[in-house]
């Protein structure tokens, strides 16, 4: 029988998430939208840092921090929407950089949060209710 190491899946997803969060911090300069305005710049810096911090917590506590994985999913979706919200869609590098980062982070967040949810249910199955 194949046994899956869900904690390793969460740690792998979280490790990649940390790197992508740091890339999001640097993205205003990497993708060239730092001059668009301070709101766009600080949005990417703050969201990227928050993603990295939440992912670090997930890496160290994979079984008890499932909610942080779902929070990272929301932040990833925000990252996808940010070019339209902050008005830098004319720069195709910044637009596609944020969209690709957001999609990859959303996929990782879903994978990591799903893995820890499966692990939690495997160790603590739902109790049957008496009728």
- The pLDDT of residue 2 is above 50: no
Question: 57: domain range?
Answer: 6-123
Count Cβ atoms below 10 Å from residue 91 Cβ, excluding itself.
15
Rg value, the chain, Cα: 17
C-alpha 8/C-alpha 6 separation (Å) is: 5
pLDDT digits (tens, 9 = 90+) for 25-77: 999 999 888 888 898 899 999 999 999 999 999 888 877 777 888 899 999 99
CA angle 56, 38, 93 (to 5 degrees): 75
Tell whether 99 is covered by a domain.
yes
User: Tokens 């690709």, residue?
Assistant: 100
Tell whether 1 is covered by a domain.
no
pLDDT digits (tens, 9 = 90+) for 83-92: 999 988 888 8
pLDDT at 7: 80
Tell whether 131 is covered by a domain.
no
C-alpha 92/C-alpha 44 separation (Å) is: 16
Tell whether 27 is covered by a domain.
yes
């Amino acid at each position: 029988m194949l046994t899956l190491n869900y904690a390793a899946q969460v740690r792998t997803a979280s490790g990649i998430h940390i790197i992508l969060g740091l890339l999001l911090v640097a993205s205003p300069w990497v993708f060239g939208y730092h001059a668009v305005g301070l709101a766009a710049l600080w949005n990417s810096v703050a969201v990227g840092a928050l993603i990295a911090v939440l992912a670090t917590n997930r890496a160290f506590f994979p079984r008890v921090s499932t909610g942080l994985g779902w929070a990272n999913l929301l932040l990833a979706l925000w990252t996808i929407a940010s070019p339209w919200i902050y008005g830098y869609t004319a720069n195709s590098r910044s637009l596609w950089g944020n969209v690709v980062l957001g999609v990859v982070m959303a996929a990782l967040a879903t994978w990591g949060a799903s893995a820890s949810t499966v692990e939690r249910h495997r160790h603590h199955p739902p109790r049957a209710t008496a009728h």
